[in-house]
Structure 1
Amino acid sequence: MPNSHIHDFILDYCLSEAPPNYAILLKGPWGVGKTWFIKKAIQNINNKNVKELYISLYGINSFSAIEYEFYRTLHPILSSKGMDLAGKIIRGTLKATLKIDINSDGKDDASTNISIPDINLPEYLKNTSDLVLIFDDIERCSIATSDLLGYINHFVEHQNYKVILVANEAELEKNEKYRIIKEKLIGKTFEITPELDLVLDKFTSDTRTEKFYNPHLDLIKQTYSQSKYGNLRHLRQALLDFTRLEQKLPHEVTDSQELVAHLLQLLLIFTFEIRHGEISAKDISSFKFGWLSQISSSVTEEKTAIAKLTEKYPRIKNQELLLDADLWIEILDKGIINDTLITKQLKNTKYLISKKTPNWIKLWNFRTHTNETFKELTNEVWTHFRELKFLDPQEIKHISGMMMFFSSKKIFEKSIQEILIETKICIDRIREAGHFNERQKLGFRENESAFGMAFFFKESEEFLEVCDYIQKISQEAYISTFSTIGGKLIKRLPVEPFMFSEALCNTEKTNETYYDVPILTGIPPETFVASLLEVHTDDLYDACRFFRERYKARYNTALIQEKEWVSRVKEIIEYEVNSRAGTLYGYCLNEILEFSINEAVSDLENFKI
């Protein structure tokens, strides 16, 4: 068993009747399991009736703070709230004034009058003469290393205490004086190696779902070993994160052992690499393309991040990330688990294909089929595609991309150019049938993937031409609905003037917003002014607030189409102001003209196209 010799030595060291007059150092990098190891060792020495005093020095910045930790550990009741006065009285009996000579040159190197605990406490407080002192997180203490180790040396050299230090020695060695002090204080140094089997049992037990992890223990061990980081803390975090994810998924997903193993493997790898600083969560967005491109890259080219991971983790199925990059980023970077969307995308994977799975998704997982099944699916999907049975723009991208890819590999008889022409014809016919009228919200990686699956052939000119064509036709279809939408919107102006303006501004207060599309071109200026004149004078300001805010974002060049509309509205308002001169309503209209509409005219004049 790893570290068993260290356990044995510590036990002998603590049971020795003669004072050793040296401390033991347990070293190892952060996350290797040093604290876990020493806590287990404490159990062993306690079983031999040896008492210990364990203190973590993480963040401690003074010797008095160390003293208080001694006191708090020895007397938790007296250090609790409500016992502060009694605690101060008794704590006063624990102090002694000492001078500490760090380098044995006869001079006091540390501050005088340092208060340290008098370990030989009064009998009625406990006999602590056989205590083993354990100081963890030495390198994370805010006290200067030389002062701290000189302080600890007093317990070893002058009071004959057995002391165990736990530290990441690589950090201590950055201090030039460390090696000199180490020779005086530390007699034995042991390096802790991860006790994976024992720790993994504890970690899975902590998740309270250890039975769930039992079938995947070998995968966890292998992935952890391949990381070469030896950081048990990162492993524990990954398992806790995966447990949180798994518990939000339905049984139909988690019952698939293969799917769970694949998902677990990816989360482990991403967590290890991100926590170690080798990649960021955002890098995942480039992984699928990276996997495809590494096959053809020359040996002289610098390897992509995913190429390096593929070499490091040979079993990684990075060509199938199971989830969209955006979902992975949410999980790893923000702790967000969109279980509805995650479940939907996992159901599209090859692991959960069923009779209910759409044939085009079955075709996306083409590597899982026989040649006969592949041909049947290809012909059926293409036929249904030409029969306009696929209306979703993302489905159209998937199917056209797959067919182009199959054509490029000589496993589909249509040429890429034929597929491109047929796809455009289908898009036109779908538009003519009244579809594509809904506004298409473009994502950051709109042409990368959809439904948790990467688009095939997505780097080709032909596929990008399909994407551009869908965007163009969708935009035209949406613009054609402006008169209908405008007709509904203008009816709100007299009754809900504030909400009318909200719908035209960039705001989170309403889901119905047209802040970035020239929707006003669908409302005749005369109709707008007629509705505005029905608004009470007290509500005119709210009704016309959009004029001041709508055109501030000059990057939104689509709104330049409303320039003529605003100018015409200004002309009509000016006429109404003149015709109502000398009236309160005329005065309020003029205020709107001066402080709202004129500002909109000025903003549109300054638009940069």
Structure 2
Amino acid sequence: MLVAIVKETYMQQGKTVSGSEGILPESNHCIRDRSATMNPNQHIKDFLSYYLSFQVPPQFAVLLDGPWGIGKTFFVKSIVNSPSNGEPKHVYVSLYGLTSFDEIDDAIFRSMYPVLESKGAKIGGRALKTIGKYLNIEIDLKTKEFINRAGTDLYIFDDLERCELPINAVMGYINGFVEHDGRKVIIIANEAEIKDAEGYRRIREKLIGKTFHVQSVFNDAMDSFTDSIQNALVRSAVQANSSLISDIYHKCELNNLRVLQQTIWDFGRVHSCLEDRHRANDKAMAELMGLLFALSFEIKVGRLTCDDLKDRFSNLFVYSMKRESHEVPPPRIYVANSRYPTVNLASTILSDETLVNVIVRGFVDKDQIREDLDRSSFFMTVAREPSWRTVWNAHERKEEEVNGAIAEMERAFTNHEFVVTGEMLHVFGLRLWLANLGAISRSKREVVGECKDYIDFLYSNRGLELPSKHESLTRFSFDSYDGLAIHQADTSEYREVRDYLDEKRRDQDVERRPEIAEQLLANMANDVSLFTRRICLTNHDDNEFYDIPVLASLDPQRFTEKLLDLHPQEQRAAIFALQLRYERGRIDGELAAEREWAAKVRELLLDASNRMTPVSKVILQALVAFGLEEALGIQSKS
């Protein structure tokens, strides 16, 4: 009965590591130890150490090339800040979005003098003035002269391709440091994104003496990211599963350390929501982490979308059953599942809704996350689990447990014990699924008939759960409930049963309206404020019938008599409530069934006014004109 989702192994292809032309003589810094061959960037690290040790101006810059997020900046800073390289005095500048040389100068000064980043240092114009103010010195030097006399050994210019200046102009600016000032310069860029390729190549030959293509520095970055986690429990969980994270990262071929760090932060938020009993379950934490990291990576690289996270289990299960026929291409979630043989993307440790909230929307619901884990196979015992849930989780339960749950679900179905709409739909879908597998001795058509009989029984006993407040009565959105996708939801048989239930719920809702209308009539007589709140769109929670035409079930004559029995002040409030109910064209929209009723009430009120004294007559007719005639589109004769 239990059909396992078979995972296909995914072989990651190795990547070559490329360097570039060299113009400096050989040095011990360039000699590569055999033990370093496991680090694809060791030769770059060796060369940069050599470059930084130069005692004379090298007269060329070093370019580190690679895609965004691969860890180029992290890699350079780890080398520059290494004690083995003497921690040279350096300036780091991101060129991202800079539009002028003045802005580059300001960025250099901010790096040289971090005080300029304080809230009190508002740089307007040239940064030299700000430096003079905060250092209490008189500066008469030109900008370039001041930078030259600052004694900086190394300049690092990052995000070259994202500078808004023309590429030849910014390269010329950098060349001044190298050729005229004799400084060491490291440029970090993604050459593939540089727009003016021809202009760039022209000046590149003059400025760049050595180019390296940086590979992902996963291990170093992972250690750094982990050490920076402030929450000790989160840090411990990440460390315990670092090999799993590494496997997922490399299977994904992500090569983006910023996405890795963002995903670690997302996991930290989820992990902080858990209780100690959750965190103590190592297997649960490994499954939770594998699911979050794999899906997060797939979403962030664009291979999966929000929609692919919905109905994960159903899509994986259905395709695993049909894949041999090759009738349809595999869903993207199936392809992703095949990419990670050590991760279960069908896991229900977090619901589809929770995954979308965390990964896509950035929303973390502590109570929902705990509830999801408590319902998973790691924390839920079959004795506490509803029978339909055990059947749904058949892929995570023992065969005898599933068989027992099927028997219990069938017993409860026979006795009409499922009354919550979402649970009923799950049971209907599961019975269709079981019939399809041959696990119960029914055909799918027989199941459809039995489910309709079930609905009829509840309907005749007024046992159907009525729609929640303002739920659309015209079409269900119930293809999932309680965080789980409903089995067989894409089949014609399920849709037939669902629509039949929709129809019966609608019928029962209409049938209850006379009872509700009587309640509203009593509200008007005893508490006109509550009457107003229940029938009008307001900010109160009581406004449950503002768009449901329940008043049409009332006898207009009785309503009019009750209205006229009210104190004049309460009469006015009740008619004002009708005016508010029908404004903005609602009487011709969702309340169209009340138009005839409202017109009859107007007629009866005007008829009653004609038997009143002149003063009372004028007051009531004015109220009718304000409360009903405008909504009904009737021009008053007065």
Q: Please give the range of the TM-score, normalised by the shorter of the 2 chains.
A: 0.7 to 0.9
User: What is the one-letter code of the residue matched to 1:546?
Assistant: L
Q: Is the 8 A contact 2:388 2:409 kept in 1?
A: yes
1:134 matches 2:134: no
Aligned partner of 1:576 among 608, 615, 624: 608
CA distance in 2, matches of 1:400, 1:288: 18
1:39-78 maps to which residues of 2 (within 5 A)? 39-44=77-82, 48=86, 50-77=88-115
SS in 1 for 2:188: strand
Partner of 1:381: 409
Go from structure 1 to structure 2 and tell me whether the alpha carbon gap of 1:274 and 1:578 turns closer, same or farther (over 3 Å shift). Answer: farther
Partner of 2:246: 221
Alignment: residue pair count: 575
Partner of 2:125: none
1:205 Cα deviation after fit:
3.0
Go from structure 1 to structure 2 and tell me whether the alpha carbon gap of 1:325 and 1:508 turns closer, same or farther (over 3 Å shift). Answer: farther
User: What is the one-letter code of the residue matched to 1:513?
Assistant: E
SS in 2 for 1:579: coil
Give TM-score, length-normalised by structure 2.
0.81
1:423 matches 2:451: yes
Go from structure 1 to structure 2 and tell me whether the alpha carbon gap of 1:337 and 1:74 turns closer, same or farther (over 3 Å shift). Answer: closer
1:86 matches 2:133: yes
For structure 2, the 5+ residue unaligned runs are 1-38, 122-128
Q: Is the 8 A contact 1:45 1:51 kept in 2?
A: no
1:186 Cα deviation after fit:
0.6
Go from structure 1 to structure 2 and tell me whether the alpha carbon gap of 1:529 and 1:72 turns closer, same or farther (over 3 Å shift). Answer: same
SS in 2 for 1:399: helix
CA offsets per residue over residues 437-475 of structure 1, 9 Å max, x none? 543465897332111222122222222222223222222
CA distance in 2, matches of 1:253, 1:601: 61
1:277 matches 2:298: no
Go from structure 1 to structure 2 and tell me whether the alpha carbon gap of 1:445 and 1:249 turns closer, same or farther (over 3 Å shift). Answer: farther
Go from structure 1 to structure 2 and tell me whether the alpha carbon gap of 1:402 and 1:39 turns closer, same or farther (over 3 Å shift). Answer: same
Go from structure 1 to structure 2 and tell me whether the alpha carbon gap of 1:599 and 1:465 turns closer, same or farther (over 3 Å shift). Answer: farther
CA distance in 2, matches of 1:402, 1:68: 66
1:178 Cα deviation after fit:
0.9
Aligned partner of 1:454 among 478, 485, 496: 485
Give TM-score, length-normalised by structure 1.
0.85
1:360 matches 2:396: no
User: What is the one-letter code of the residue matched to 1:186?
Assistant: I
SS in 1 for 2:187: strand
1:9 Cα deviation after fit:
1.1
Q: Is the 8 A contact 2:587 2:595 kept in 1?
A: no
SS in 1 for 2:523: coil
Cα RMSD, aligned residues only? 3.1
**Between 166-175 and 380-389, the greater mean CA deviation after superposition:** 166-175
CA distance in 1, matches of 2:228, 2:164: 31
1:310-321 maps to which residues of 2 (within 5 A)? 310-321=337-348
CA distance in 2, matches of 1:389, 1:6: 70
CA distance in 1, matches of 2:45, 2:617: 92
CA distance in 2, matches of 1:189, 1:411: 65
1:232 Cα deviation after fit:
0.8
Partner of 2:202: 180
Go from structure 1 to structure 2 and tell me whether the alpha carbon gap of 1:227 and 1:521 turns closer, same or farther (over 3 Å shift). Answer: same
CA offsets per residue over residues 107-141 of structure 1, 9 Å max, x none? xxxxxxxx5353332xxxxx50x511111122222
Go from structure 1 to structure 2 and tell me whether the alpha carbon gap of 1:199 and 1:89 turns closer, same or farther (over 3 Å shift). Answer: same
Aligned partner of 1:239 among 245, 255, 264: 264
SS in 2 for 1:347: helix
CA distance in 2, matches of 1:469, 1:506: 30
1:335 matches 2:357: no
SS in 2 for 1:388: coil
Partner of 2:192: 170
SS in 1 for 2:58: coil
Go from structure 1 to structure 2 and tell me whether the alpha carbon gap of 1:52 and 1:94 turns closer, same or farther (over 3 Å shift). Answer: farther
1:116 matches 2:144: yes
CA distance in 1, matches of 2:476, 2:356: 13
Partner of 2:21: none
1:390 Cα deviation after fit:
2.1
1:383 Cα deviation after fit:
0.9
CA distance in 2, matches of 1:400, 1:216: 40
1:418-567 maps to which residues of 2 (within 5 A)? 418-436=446-464, 438-440=466-468, 442=471, 446-493=477-524, 497=528, 500-533=531-564, 534=566, 536=569, 539=573, 542-549=576-583, 551-552=585-586, 556=590, 559-567=591-599
CA distance in 2, matches of 1:470, 1:462: 13
CA distance in 2, matches of 1:299, 1:92: 76
CA distance in 1, matches of 2:42, 2:587: 67
CA distance in 2, matches of 1:170, 1:528: 76
CA distance in 2, matches of 1:150, 1:519: 77
Go from structure 1 to structure 2 and tell me whether the alpha carbon gap of 1:23 and 1:591 turns closer, same or farther (over 3 Å shift). Answer: farther
1:185-264 maps to which residues of 2 (within 5 A)? 185-207=207-229, 208=231, 209-264=234-289
CA distance in 2, matches of 1:49, 1:466: 72
CA distance in 2, matches of 1:221, 1:394: 40
CA distance in 2, matches of 1:512, 1:538: 20
Q: Is the 8 A contact 1:344 1:451 kept in 2?
A: no
SS in 2 for 1:544: helix
1:182 Cα deviation after fit:
1.0
SS in 1 for 2:524: coil
1:225 Cα deviation after fit:
1.2
Q: Is the 8 A contact 2:73 2:158 kept in 1?
A: yes
Partner of 1:393: 421
Identify which of structures 1 and 2 has the higher relative contact order when contacts are C-alpha pairs closer than 8 Å and 6+ apart: 2
User: What is the one-letter code of the residue matched to 2:171?
Assistant: L
Go from structure 1 to structure 2 and tell me whether the alpha carbon gap of 1:379 and 1:504 turns closer, same or farther (over 3 Å shift). Answer: same
SS in 1 for 2:586: coil
1:149 Cα deviation after fit:
0.8
CA distance in 2, matches of 1:573, 1:335: 56
Go from structure 1 to structure 2 and tell me whether the alpha carbon gap of 1:214 and 1:49 turns closer, same or farther (over 3 Å shift). Answer: closer
Q: Is the 8 A contact 2:535 2:581 kept in 1?
A: no
Aligned partner of 1:308 among 324, 335, 351: 335
Go from structure 1 to structure 2 and tell me whether the alpha carbon gap of 1:541 and 1:434 turns closer, same or farther (over 3 Å shift). Answer: closer
Go from structure 1 to structure 2 and tell me whether the alpha carbon gap of 1:347 and 1:93 turns closer, same or farther (over 3 Å shift). Answer: same
Partner of 2:53: 15
Go from structure 1 to structure 2 and tell me whether the alpha carbon gap of 1:45 and 1:158 turns closer, same or farther (over 3 Å shift). Answer: farther
Q: Is the 8 A contact 1:15 1:50 kept in 2?
A: no
CA offsets per residue over residues 46-87 of structure 1, 9 Å max, x none? 851521111222222221122222223323447753794625
Aligned partner of 1:160 among 167, 174, 182: 182
User: What is the one-letter code of the residue matched to 2:464?
Assistant: F
1:405 Cα deviation after fit:
1.0
Go from structure 1 to structure 2 and tell me whether the alpha carbon gap of 1:429 and 1:180 turns closer, same or farther (over 3 Å shift). Answer: same
Go from structure 1 to structure 2 and tell me whether the alpha carbon gap of 1:249 and 1:597 turns closer, same or farther (over 3 Å shift). Answer: farther
